[in-house]
Every structure is written in C-alpha cells, then in structure tokens.
Structure 1
Amino acid sequence: MLSPLDLSLVNGPIPAAATVAAAVALTYLAIRKNRTWWTRVLPIVVSACAVVVLGLSYVVDHVWKPWPEPLPVILTVWVGAALTALALAAVRLGTGRWYGRVFGVLLALGVTTSAMVATNAHFSQYPTMRAVLDVFRNDRVDLNEAAPSPSRVVDVPAGKKLADVWTKPDDMPDKGTVSESTIPGDFPARPAWIYLPPAYHTMPRPKLPVIVLLAGQPGNPRDWFDGGRITDNMDAYAAQHEGLAPIVVVADQLGTPTANPLCLDSALGKSETYLARDLPKWIKQRLTVDERREAWTIAGFSQGATCSVQLAVRAPDVYGNFVALAPQREPTLSTRHETVKAAFGGDEAAFVRVNPMDILARQTFPRTAGIIVAGRDDATYRKADAEVFEACRKAGMDVLWKELPYGHDWNMAREGLFGSLPWLAGRTGLA
C-alpha cells in the first residue's frame, strides 16, 4: 500500500484540499456581525495587505531584481492571502472569547500552510511529504570515508566500454553515498554535493563518467537532492545497471542563493574559471573518474541550464556533453544593457565574446553532443529553449530536443535529467 508519506504534494487531493481549506478559513476570518467591521475594519485590512504585497512585488521585480523574471502571479496571490489571514486574526485578538481568538490564529496559520503547499505545487520542489522530511535527515558520508584512494581500478581495453568488461561484485552495496566537500578555487563557491554510485564502492573500482550538475537561481546544490531526488533516481538507475551510474557533482555556480555571476569571468566573479578549470581539476585529483571528455557532462536547470550551454561552448575540451533543462536564451540579469553594464562595465564587445549564442553563430562544435529539454507549458522559456536548440544544431552539435508536459518546475527538471540517462550512458560507456 502507498504510504501517506508518498502521497503527492504537487498533484491530486492534497493541493486541492489545501486551496479549499484556505478559502473557507479566509471566509470565516472575514465575516463578523459587527457593522463597523464591514464598513471600516475589513476594507482597511484588505487594502493595507494589498498595498504591502504589491509594494513588495514592485521592490523585488523593479528595485532589488535578484533574478530576471518577475515574481510568479500565484506566489503574489498566496502571499497576499496569508498576510490577510494573519492580519484579520491579529485584529480579532482584541475582541471575543479566548477560544475564538485561538481558533482565529489557527485558521490564519492554516492559510499560511496552504500558501506553502500551493507554492510548492507550483514549483514542484518537494513531490511528497517524504521529500519534505528528508530535509531534516542527514545521511551524508564524509568524503574521505566514502572515497578512499583505490588500490586497483577496472582495466578497460582499447575499443571497449566499461559496460563490456564490468561484472558486479558480490559485496557491492545496494545504495550509493552522498557527501559534501568544499572545492577550492578563485570563486567563493558553497560546498558541492557529491553522489557516488554503488559501483564506486567496490574494488577494483571502475573509472566512472561524471555529471557536473547545477541548480537554478535562487538556489543551492542541495536543491537537486531535495527537488531533483538525485539519490533515489540514481540508485534506481544503478540497480538496473549492475551498480553502474555516473558520479554526480552538484556544484555551486552562484556563491549565494540570490547572486548571479552569470557563469562568466567578469566583474561579478570568476564563476567560469571555477566551473571550467578548478572544479574539473579537483574532481580528477580526488575521485576515480573516466577523464575522457566524452565521459564528462555539464547539466543544469533554469539558470543552471544556461550555464550548461555556456560551458559546452566555452570549455568543450572539458565537457563533451551537456543537458540543458529549460535554459535562458543567454546569460542575463534583466536586460542585455543591464547585464553588460554590471558584468563588463558596459563593454558590449566583451559580452559578445563570451555569450554562447554569439559563439554558436561563429564557431562549430561537431564533437559536442547535448539534449535541450523544454517544458511545454513554460511560457517564460519555451521559445528561448527552441532558439538555443536551433543555434546548437546549426553549429554542428549532435543535439536532441525533448519537450515535457510541464511548466518551469522541478517535475520537468527531474524527468528531463533522468530521461536523459540512457542517452548519456551510451555516450559515456556505461551501456
């Protein structure tokens, strides 16, 4: 039987019930028999909350501008609903019996919880309650314990692939491990999260392919383990392939959750050098990996997908493959003018030299392969994804187009990445 912890928080009865419950709670909080309530208190509270929410949206979208897209309308609506509920409950604290006041506070907290459920359903960050509870579980393993230096490695003869010579040892563990590690470089990156599949924990150890994976902005490396379910899905893939799966290094290309150094070397930081040189160097020194460029993949979601296209054309000697899950047309902070001003002091030519769409227009990449995945209902990036795909195709890349029935959310990212694994396995020698 399906555990209650595995019921969907994205589709089905739970999000619907949360919305209905919020509507009922708000209605109760808004209704009172007092005439002054209807003519003065309620209009003032609702108007004040609306002004606060609209003002907050304006500041975020037009003053602070931590990311190039405006706040989603659904997020603004739910913030307004939660704020209104809390304000109405606060006003009610001054009158009525104690249990009525307590009930009002509980209803306001219920609306706030419903807002969180609805927001999660929009972004699909936590698909189930089990995924939510995983946030409070620490099952990470120290990297020195998880990845000691191997005494022997699997020998793969010339002309063969790892899958041709691999035999699963009897003592191989059923699950992979997850570790955190700070990777040094000139960029102030937060610790990377590293998934090592079951086959890595065997002797002789196979030299495995690598996926360098990037989350979106705002975000952090952990997002791919919470929203992307890396551990569950990679373990499932490994179970079907004799323990073999890629090593996944989820790196930080941002520095802070809301920063955006554009995965370039600019006034905003040396993010490109970190991803193209420092990070691969550390991985090859610290982990047992297949060092062929064909075995290396750069992948990401949203802003991380934009970065994956950038690295595919800016560091083709390192990354032979890329998986771009809903990329932007080009690295951006808002408009091109604002981006060029912030990153290059207004030097348009400097931006053109490193902008992937401009590079794709003047260079060819016949040895690079990739997949571009778009959400069919992604009104913000669906058109840009198609433009990037066409530019890659014209530049001679072996590029595939995939469209999934989602918006710009983690449903698309999860399915897009793991749906690409069979193709990657063929490219990298796992199958």
Structure 2
Amino acid sequence: MGQWLMGVSLIDGWLPAVLFAIVILSVVILLVSAIAGGKQTVPSAKHNECMRLVALPIVIAIVAGVAGYTIAWLLSDVFVAFGVGLGPRVMAWAAAGSAVAGFAVAHLVLRKGMMRVVAVILTVFAVLAAAIGIDQSYGEYGTIGSLFGVDPYGQANLTGLTKRKDLTTIAQWREQVANGTIRDIPTKGTVDKVDIPAIKSQFKARKTLVYLPPAALVKTKRKPALPVILLMSGQPGSPGRAFQAGDIQTMMDGYAKNHDGLAPIVIAADQLGDDSHNTLCVDSKVYGNALTYLTQDVVNWVKTNLPAAQNAEDWAIAGFSQGATCSLQIGVNHPDLFGTMIPTDSELGPTNGTRQEMIDSFFDGDAKAYENQVPINAIRNHAPTHQTLIMGAGEKDTTSVRNIRKIAPVAVKAGMNVTAVESIGNAHDWHAVQDVLRYGLAVFGYDTGLSDTKPDLSDYPNLKRVAV
C-alpha cells in the first residue's frame, strides 16, 4: 500500500483529476445553495440576502485572486525571491488558488450547517489543487514519493560491468543488428542507483542514477561503446528528481526503440551533496570538492566500469537551472572531457550570494578563479573551440532567454556549433528541459553515430530558434 501510494502521479492520472473535481463540485454546491437561499427569503429581504450569500463571496474571491497574483508577481519578478521568475502559469495558479480559497473562507464565515462543512472542504482542497497546478506547471515532483525524496529506483552494483577491451564500435553494432547477428534486444533500458566512490575528491555525494540503454543489456560479451550524457538537476534537486522530472527513461527508451536499441548512457550525478547546498560546482572549503568529483571520480568510474565511449566528442554534459550553469562552466573548461553541452535555463554565472561573497567563500579571495567559472569568460579563455552547444530556455523565462542572447554569440564567435532555442509556452521548468533535451539527444545521437538522420529543428514544434 505504501509503495503504491508513493508512486501515485501528481502530474496526471486520477489524483489531480479528483482534486480539481472536488474543488469544482464544492464551488457549484455553495453557489447553488446560496442562490436558492436568497430566493427563499421574503421579497423585501431577497436582494440583501443574494448580495450577502452570492455577490459578497464572489467579490472577495476576485480581491483574493488579484492579491494572490500580485504577491506571486512581486516575489517572482520584483524581489526575485526564488532566484528565477516563476512564469505566468505558476502566477495564474497562485491567483486561482487564492481566489477559490477566498471564496471558500467567505462562505465559511457566512454559512451555517452543512454548507460550512463544504466551505471547510473547499478551503483545504483549493490549496491542494493550486499546489498540484503549480507542480504541473513546473514539473518538478512527478509522484507523491518524490515529495519525500522517495523514488522507484533500486540499488545495483555495476562495477566491472564491461571490460574496455570487449567494446565494439557503434557502426559494428548496427551492422550486426542489420545482418541478424545481434538479436533479442530488450525493449527497455534500466535505471539503477549506484555508489560512485569519491576517491580523489572525498566529496559527500548522494547516490548516482545510471540509465543503461537496451544495447548495453544484450547478453553478449561484445557490447557497443556508447556515448554518455552527464546530467545535473537544479538546486534544490537530486539525481532522482532529475530523472523523474526529466522523464529520462521514457525519453531514452523511445530513442532506443527507433535506433537498434542504441541510446546514450545517462549519468545523473550529484553536484550538490544536499538539497540545501549550492556548491557552484567548484572545489571549495564550503561544501567540498564537487568539481573534482564530477570531472574525475564520476567520469573515471563510468569509463572504467560501463560500456562507455572514451573520447570527449562522445560525451555530453547537460543540466537545468543551477545544473545548467554547471554544465556550461564545466563543459567549456574541460573540452578534453565533453564535446557537447545541453544547458536549459542557465544563469550567466555561478550564483550563491554576491560576487564578492562567492569570491571570498568559495575561491579563497581569488577573483580570477571566480571569473574563470563564468561561462562567457570560460568560452573566451578556451577559444577557439569546436564543441557543440545546444542552449535552451523556457519561452516565458525571460531572464534565461536574455542569458542565451548574451552567451550564445560569444560561443559562436569562439567557433562552437551553436543552436539556441526556446521552449514554447514554458518557463523555468522541467517541461522546457524535456523539450530542449529531446532535441539535444537527437543532435548528440547524430553526431555520435547512433542515428543517420540529421535532426531538423522544424520537426520539434515545441521549440523555436532564438536569434543570436
């Protein structure tokens, strides 16, 4: 029962439908009973009773809705209390939830008996429904379990899964599938938690999630050397949340289904150590050696133990929000490790306090060390470079779109192969990540030989090009 409950979806399915239905039904009951109550009064009091039971709650609802939207707008776009804009859909849900709650509270004060009970129920469910709506807009928590850090992934020991000398090329694999030598390819890949030893960094990371595509699971000694995507969540966030909110397994399995079981290995590594930590993805005395963990411990473990390609052109680094900023600064500063970067909703640079606070705390007062982690500076420092950059943002996340327009031209000038896109209708959310990553997967797959079809942006209707 507990496991079933933890797996109940917050994004679609029966739970959101039931919550929204209860809210609508409660509003209808209160309105109908209020109108009926007004009609039953004597003619001289009918107008006043209708005003009291019908018009007054509606007026309060409108005032509450405007107040809710205004507060959300102030927190989002004026005070930037969350570090990013919330987006119009989130603010609309805040307004709707406030309006319905205001309507319910008005009836709670004005009504008696069963109608007061209905008003109590509506108050509670108005808040819950608004929370569900906001989560659906953002796409962060996919299940009830994800709210409590519970995910469906099991622990596995993948150490020594494949020996490097046994690996074949992608071209050889595809030829063997075509001639029937390779058969019985699984229809789905697997996702497992693993402990990657922090041998060099001593960084206290949470468990890593590893997606292995069907081609890595075929019962043959000679597995293909697969490209790799290193994926990072935002902050707060975790590897499990990145996989669930990004719908990574579904995306990769869908790709593998159309490409002979081939898809990248996806490694969701922990760059934070804890939801409350923003490590800036650097080595520091504040939260430990996050950069060394990612670029040495994780990369070396993957190359040693999994059927993973070894060259930089076969590795991509991707992320959302704080993880997007990390993917840029790490990818650009380590062209020997990563040939492709796929950041969504990136900041202009590492952000945890003021510039001087970061320099003092994370870089021991070394301003140059901080500046080297700012993506624009890092791109210029490593120019010319022929890495691939697929940079995206939610259309409604105007700050991140502006960041693209500042970073992408510098990358173009440095010689990068750049595609800048907006996810239509989305904001600073995981829906945008899915849109951008789906296109990035197609580009990366073509570049690494998983597919012969060069992707065309026009085939991705949720995306539009950003002029840079």
Indicate conservation of the 8 Å contact 1:162/1:430, yes or no: no
Indicate conservation of the 8 Å contact 1:210/1:297, yes or no: yes
Pairwise mapping of residues 203-218 of structure 1 onto structure 2 (< 5 A)?
203-204=220-221, 205-218=223-236
Match for 1:277: what amino acid? Answer: Q
* Counterparts of 2:30 and 2:118, CA distance in 1: 14
Q: Report the 3-state secondary structure (helix = DSSP H, G, I; strand = E; otherwise coil) of the residue aligned with 1:374.
A: strand
Counterpart of 2:187 (choices 160, 163, 174) is 174
Matched, 1:309 2:324: no
**CA drift at 1:18:** 7.3
Partner in structure 1 of residue 393 of structure 2: 374
Matched, 1:261 2:279: yes
Matched, 1:423 2:434: no
* Counterparts of 1:151 and 1:118, CA distance in 2: 47
Partner in structure 2 of residue 123 of structure 1: 138
Q: Label 1:235 to 1:36 Cα distance change in 2 as closer, same or farther (>3 A).
A: closer
- Between 169-178 and 328-337, report the one with greater CA deviation: 328-337
- Between 418-427 and 400-409, report the one with greater CA deviation: 400-409
**CA drift at 1:210:** 0.9
Matched, 1:149 2:161: yes
**CA drift at 1:426:** 2.4
Match for 2:434: what amino acid? Answer: R
Indicate conservation of the 8 Å contact 1:22/1:114, yes or no: no
* Counterparts of 1:344 and 1:23, CA distance in 2: 56
* Counterparts of 1:192 and 1:22, CA distance in 2: 44
Counterpart of 1:183 (choices 192, 196, 202) is 196
Q: Label 1:82 to 1:280 Cα distance change in 2 as closer, same or farther (>3 A).
A: same
Q: Report the 3-state secondary structure (helix = DSSP H, G, I; strand = E; otherwise coil) of the residue aligned with 2:313.
A: helix
* Counterparts of 2:212 and 2:274, CA distance in 1: 25
Q: Report the 3-state secondary structure (helix = DSSP H, G, I; strand = E; otherwise coil) of the residue aligned with 1:260.
A: coil
Pairwise mapping of residues 224-373 of structure 1 onto structure 2 (< 5 A)?
224-269=242-287, 270-344=289-363, 346-373=365-392
Partner in structure 2 of residue 220 of structure 1: 238
Q: Report the 3-state secondary structure (helix = DSSP H, G, I; strand = E; otherwise coil) of the residue aligned with 1:403.
A: strand
* Counterparts of 1:108 and 1:152, CA distance in 2: 60
Indicate conservation of the 8 Å contact 2:163/2:305, yes or no: no
**CA drift at 1:372:** 1.2
- Between 325-334 and 301-310, report the one with greater CA deviation: 325-334
- Between 271-280 and 70-79, report the one with greater CA deviation: 70-79
Q: Report the 3-state secondary structure (helix = DSSP H, G, I; strand = E; otherwise coil) of the residue aligned with 2:292.
A: helix
Partner in structure 1 of residue 153 of structure 2: 140
Indicate conservation of the 8 Å contact 1:19/1:118, yes or no: no
Indicate conservation of the 8 Å contact 2:162/2:306, yes or no: no
Q: Label 1:386 to 1:91 Cα distance change in 2 as closer, same or farther (>3 A).
A: closer
Match for 1:194: what amino acid? Answer: V
Indicate conservation of the 8 Å contact 1:26/1:111, yes or no: no
Matched, 1:410 2:430: yes
**CA drift at 1:151:** 7.3
Match for 1:114: what amino acid? Answer: A
Higher alpha-carbon Rg: 2
**CA drift at 1:68:** 2.7
Q: Label 1:405 to 1:90 Cα distance change in 2 as closer, same or farther (>3 A).
A: closer
Q: Label 1:35 to 1:403 Cα distance change in 2 as closer, same or farther (>3 A).
A: closer
Q: Report the 3-state secondary structure (helix = DSSP H, G, I; strand = E; otherwise coil) of the residue aligned with 1:381.
A: helix
Match for 1:132: what amino acid? Answer: T
- Determine what percentage of the aligned residue pairs are the same residue: 31
* Counterparts of 1:155 and 1:210, CA distance in 2: 15
Partner in structure 1 of residue 45 of structure 2: none
**CA drift at 1:250:** 0.7
- Between 294-303 and 372-381, report the one with greater CA deviation: 372-381
**CA drift at 1:120:** 2.0
**CA drift at 1:367:** 3.9
* Counterparts of 1:255 and 1:22, CA distance in 2: 44
Q: Report the 3-state secondary structure (helix = DSSP H, G, I; strand = E; otherwise coil) of the residue aligned with 2:216.
A: helix
Q: Report the 3-state secondary structure (helix = DSSP H, G, I; strand = E; otherwise coil) of the residue aligned with 1:279.
A: helix
* Counterparts of 2:331 and 2:239, CA distance in 1: 20
Indicate conservation of the 8 Å contact 1:193/1:249, yes or no: yes
Pairwise mapping of residues 53-202 of structure 1 onto structure 2 (< 5 A)?
68-69=83-84, 99-125=114-140, 132=143, 139-144=152-157, 149-150=161-162, 155-156=167-168, 161-162=171-172, 164-167=174-177, 169-185=182-198, 186-202=202-218
How well do the aligned residues superpose, as a CA RMSD in angstroms? Answer: 4.4
- Taking structure 2 as the reference length, the TM-score comes to 0.72
Indicate conservation of the 8 Å contact 1:153/1:207, yes or no: no
How many residue pairs are counted as aligned between the two chains? 408
Q: Deviations over 1:150-193 (max 9, x none)?
A: 47975547xx7455544273233211111112323222222111
Indicate conservation of the 8 Å contact 2:26/2:122, yes or no: no
- Between 326-335 and 382-391, report the one with greater CA deviation: 326-335
Unmatched segments (≥5 aa) in structure 1 = none
Match for 2:188: what amino acid? Answer: K
Indicate conservation of the 8 Å contact 2:350/2:373, yes or no: no
**CA drift at 1:300:** 1.0
* Counterparts of 1:258 and 1:76, CA distance in 2: 24
Indicate conservation of the 8 Å contact 2:19/2:129, yes or no: no
